[in-house]
Structure 1
Amino acid sequence: MSVWQPSAPCTPRACIAVTASATAVPRAVLRLAAVTALVLTGVVLTPLGGRIPAEWVRRWCRWIVRAAGVRVRITGTTAPTGGLLLVANHISWMDIPLLAAVRPARMVAKSDIRDWPVAGPVAARGGVLFIDRHRLRALPGTVARIADALRAGQAVGVFPEGSTWCGRAQGTFRRAVFQAALDADVPVQPVHLRYRLAEGSVSTAPAFIGDDSLLASVWRVVTTRGLIAEVEVRRLIPPGSHPDRRTLARAAQPGPTAQPAWTHTALVA
């Protein structure tokens, strides 16, 4: 296994706690139908690409999470315009729309997704930047493509842990993608994602880990009552503030000592 093929020790059996607060099956089915309808709407509108206003994209992303019965709480700074590397920890399939709710971005994803039925072609048309983690020699070329997108004024979203974690534990940010921000001389916007129940405890129900199936993960979310997705937009890391990708990755890594600069709070009830 290469350094660009990290894996998490989290597994559904060991890490996902079954919640005692479950919503009724009919309501869960309605939530699942609403999520599916919103995703299919996005698939239909994908060819329009950049012609869709960014604010509409942000709202659509929030609606996907909200349709699953999850409240969204966004706190912190406002992500700037222009070239920007958005980085976040990775727990759930919901992380992607939540990151786009901060600022719509071209996502970085493993190349395997390109071969998925339906999702693969849609991801390609949507501007996803694919990484072939089985070919380490291809990594410099991928970093160069990310840097080109950043220089063009685009936002690029990435989960530098390289694998999903359960939410109670987290991985280390891999350094390679931060080289693109250094090469393009653009800022890095760290985002910290958490999932909690209404009473305050951390919830692992949204986790999409190990050999878990996407359907199983989605079903856990729509059947869990009182889920809240917390999106903490942390202090922007300006270009030139760190000399190399190692220190830049360490600065962007979520941790209990990192201090956000809160300027706004948004709660989608």
Structure 2
Amino acid sequence: MLGLLLVGALIAIAVGRRRTVSTAVMSRWSRTLCRVMGVRITVLGTPHAGTALLVANHISWLDIFCIAAVCPTHFLAKQEVAAWPLFGWLCRRAGTAFIRRGSENGAGEAAEQLTWRLRQGGRILIFPEGTSTSGESVKRFYPRLFQAALHARCPVQAIALRYPDPNDPLGINRTVPFIGNDEFISHLWRLLGEQSIAVELSFSERVVAGTQTRGLLARHTYQQVYAALQKENIPQSQSISALPH
């Protein structure tokens, strides 16, 4: 816990009064955070280097930092994240787009934000399940946010995310999922109690958003994630190691 607080203090000093920071800086923060928390990342496949809408299954708030550690990107998060201690502050400084869940046009407003940002270049990460899960299954992908890729005429790349635990009957870590009525601070404390946390990120082949509908894009990327998690179509391993210093 002391190490995590030290990281937070160093970040605050480095940022100073700057209102925003680059995705490259956010990526460095994320690598440091993952090292402090004992997170070991396995990367499979290759992240797309250019502008892209990244879509992934969602298990925990930790997902964002694991992906950002290996793939500098902006991301979309629920509005409540902005109020979280330290992490909410980091997300705001990193230019996160926030979605007002439950509002009448929250998804529409978010899609407009995503379109604008994609047209500026770079990558943006979304979690199209609309919620987090235990990691035992993947919920269907809601298609509305995929409209941003069509408007921006950029590719879509799916990321299958998994926290393995060989000692679990289903092979998944039961501590990492942030679900139900979990509260951020108590969940963070549980994660800090873990000796180490393994995570696998499987980057699928990108999908060109051309004449496809947003519904087809959602179904196709869902199938890519599902297949990767079922070990049916995992790309060749790019690197399997602890995060670089």
TM superposition score normalised by structure 1: 0.76
Aligned alpha-carbon RMSD (Å): 2.6
Residues 1-269 of structure 1: matches in 2 within 5 Å? Answer: 32-46=1-15, 47=18, 49-50=20-21, 54=24, 57-81=26-50, 83-115=51-83, 120=88, 122-197=90-165, 201-240=171-210, 243-253=212-222, 254-256=225-227, 259-262=233-236, 264-268=238-242
TM superposition score normalised by structure 2: 0.83
CA deviations over 1:104-135 (Å, ceiling 9, x no partner) = 22221222344556655553332111212222
CA apart distance, 1:90: 0.8
CA apart distance, 1:148: 1.1
Alignment CA distance shift 1:107-1:43 (3 Å):
farther
CA apart distance, 1:154: 2.4
Alignment CA distance shift 1:233-1:35 (3 Å):
farther
Contact 2:84 2:184 (8 Å CA) reproduced: no
Contact 2:27 2:68 (8 Å CA) reproduced: yes
The residue type paired with residue 241 of structure 2 is L
Alignment CA distance shift 1:192-1:121 (3 Å):
same
Instruction: Find the aligned partners of 1:223 and 1:120 in 2 and give their Cα distance.
Output: 22
The higher radius of gyration belongs to 1
Alignment CA distance shift 1:35-1:189 (3 Å):
farther
CA apart distance, 1:213: 1.6
